[in-house]
């Protein structure tokens, strides 16, 4: 059985790091793709500290390195150079066989491609994530039902992915990522295919997970509607972290989520069905 350090063991049990250190700490992260004599530097020398209780937004043009960085932070992709600490542990030095349990128990993922099982209903897709973590039967079904209600899919719980729109599939994926209540949540454009009502529900859910449950939530986005919900906004260009800004929250926590059509020209990837 894989043996984890005390810091990771504590975080996996409690959902919180064992010390006040950042939940994720990156130093000089780089990623280079090679094909023959050609090299593509997707990420170059990124330094980053991510804390529990914060919703961090990553923005940048296509090809800026956002998804590559998110994949490295989630231990899906190894950096070519640099050091990554997760919950106080240097994971860049761990063998590949030690990473699946960390990904399964410490990190929730929301992918652009949804990655839903086509032969399972929405509720079954979410419940499966609980099953992998050892929660089965009625508790898993109740948790799945509650999460699907949170993301506005209470009337689509028994629908199969083929019968769901792109936005509905995305919301199932978000519910599934939250199933294990992980200390870290990494999301790749979770609101891009959602209308204003659904998008607001999703970003507010992510914000609550960070602020009320002490999770570190990192979200890649092109969606200007969500900017006021983030605690930090990181801007990447050409594989580099070029600047950071603090989000400006509205007084009293009320935040403006403009109509979907008002930003349709900005978010080019939104499906026509919306």
- What is the reported pLDDT for 56? 97
Concatenated DSSP letters of 38-94: EEEEEEEEEEEEE-TT-EEEEE--TTSSHHHHHHHHTTSS--SEEEEEETTEEGGGS
Q: Measure the CA dihedral 58/62/68/70, to 10°.
A: 20
- Strand order through the sheet with 55-59: 107-110, 184-188, 216-220, 55-59, 232-237, 240-246
Q: Which two tokens stand for residue 60?
A: 């940048």
- What is the reported pLDDT for 145? 95
Rounded to whole angstroms, how far apart are CA atoms 150 and 145? 9
Nearest to 46 by CA among 243, 218, 244, 239: 239
User: Where do the domains of the chain lie?
Assistant: 6-247
Contacts of 138 (CB under 8 A, 6+ apart): none
Q: Dump pLDDT digits (tens) for 19-41.
A: 457 999 999 999 999 887 888 89
Domain 6-247: give its CATH architecture: 3-Layer(aba) Sandwich (3.40)
Q: Judging by DSSP bridges, how do beta strands 89-90 and 107-110 pair with one another?
A: unpaired
**Residue percentage of the chain with pLDDT more than 90:** 53
Please say if the pLDDT value at position 127 is more than 90: yes
Q: Which two tokens stand for residue 55?
A: 């919703």
Find out whether 230 and 222 touch, Cβ atoms under 8 Å.
no
* Better-scored residue on pLDDT, 123 or 93: 123
Average pLDDT, the chain: 83
Q: Dump pLDDT digits (tens) for 217-263.
A: 999 998 888 999 999 999 999 999 999 987 665 544 444 555 443 33
150-178 mean pLDDT = 90
Q: Dump pLDDT digits (tens) for 44-81.
A: 999 999 999 999 999 999 899 999 999 999 999 999 99
Nearest to 24 by CA among 219, 220, 217, 226: 217
- Find the helix or strand (DSSP H, E) in which 6 lies: helix 6-14
* Better-scored residue on pLDDT, 190 or 258: 190
């Amino acid at each position: 059985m894989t043996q984890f350090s005390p810091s990771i063991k504590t975080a996996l049990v409690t959902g919180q790091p064992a010390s006040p250190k950042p939940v994720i700490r990156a130093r000089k992260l780089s990623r280079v793709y090679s094909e023959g004599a050609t090299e593509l530097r997707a990420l170059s020398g990124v330094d980053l500290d991510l804390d529990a209780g914060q919703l961090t937004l990553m923005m940048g043009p296509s090809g800026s390195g956002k998804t590559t960085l998110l994949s490295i932070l989630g231990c899906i992709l190894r950096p070519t150079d640099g050091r990554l600490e997760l919950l106080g542990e240097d994971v860049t030095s761990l063998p590949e066989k030690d990473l699946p349990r960390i990904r399964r128990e410490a990190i929730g993922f929301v992918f652009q491609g949804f990655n839903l099982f086509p032969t399972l209903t929405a509720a079954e897709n979410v419940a499966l994530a609980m099953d992998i973590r050892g929660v089965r039967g009625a508790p898993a079904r109740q948790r799945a039902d509650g999460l699907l209600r949170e993301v506005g899919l209470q009337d689509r719980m028994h629908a199969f992915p083929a019968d769901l729109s792109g936005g509905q599939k995305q919301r199932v994926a978000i519910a599934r990522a939250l199933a294990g209540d992980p200390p870290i949540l990494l999301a790749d454009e979770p609101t891009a295919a959602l209308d204003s009502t659904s998008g607001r529900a999703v970003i507010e859910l992510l914000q609550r997970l960070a602020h009320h449950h002490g999770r570190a939530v990192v979200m890649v986005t092109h969606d200007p509607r969500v900017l006021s919900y983030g605690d930090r906004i990181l801007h990447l260009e050409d594989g580099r972290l070029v600047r950071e800004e603090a989000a400006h929250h509205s007084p009293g926590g009320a935040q403006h989520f403009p109509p979907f059509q008002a930003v349709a020209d900005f978010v080019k990837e939104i499906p026509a069905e919306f």
